[in-house]
Amino acid sequence: MPSMARSLVVVLVLTGTAAACTPHQVSTYMAIKTNGDPAAAAAADRAVADWHDRRSADCYQAIDRHWPASSRAWARSIVWRESRNNPTAANTRSSARGCWQLLLGTHGRRFAKLGFSTGQWADPDVNTLVALDLYREAGTRPWRL
């Protein structure tokens, strides 16, 4: 029974971690955590907690954390135009949501590709990382008027 309880705790912890991290973060965490080294496991727990504590407060902060420095000014101008730096901006006439006003139906697969759900659209880090993926693929074209 103790090993069954321990297994249940591990599953619950990993499930909770998986819900809030990218697949790469989860696999890295699991590789370190399952190594059997208590010090490495504690360090992994601290790293995951630190990542969650550093969530961006708004769109501009997310840009500063994730966007290439060479095009941050452009990114900030687009976010101002699209959402006025409001991560919870939602267009009432379409599914455009978040900092970058990403269309959820169009970019749902992009959210999933990065390990996120469209339900996380209001998280400025998530919205910016999805926009960055689009930018790397298509450049500035999606945001042209």
Looking at residue 101, its pLDDT comes to: 98
Q: Closest Cα partner for 112 from 95, 101, 98, 126?
A: 126
> How do the domains of the chain map onto residue ranges?
2-53, 59-143
Q: Convert the pLDDT of each residue in 37-56 to its tens digit.
A: 777 777 766 766 666 667 89
Looking at residue 23, its pLDDT comes to: 58
* CB-based contacts of 117, cutoff 8 Å, min separation 6: 111
Looking at residue 18, its pLDDT comes to: 42
Distance CA 81, CA 75 (A): 10
Looking at residue 92, its pLDDT comes to: 96
Pair of tokens at residue 137: 């693929």
Pair of tokens at residue 111: 């959210």
Which residues of the chain fall short of a pLDDT of 70? 1-36, 44-45, 47-53
Q: What is the CATH topology of the domain spanning 59-143?
A: Lysozyme (1.10.530)
Looking at residue 12, its pLDDT comes to: 45
Q: What is the DSSP string of 18-82?
A: HHHS-HHHHHHHHHHHTT--HHHHHHHHHHHHHHHHT--SSHHHHHHHHS-GGGHHHHHHHHHHH
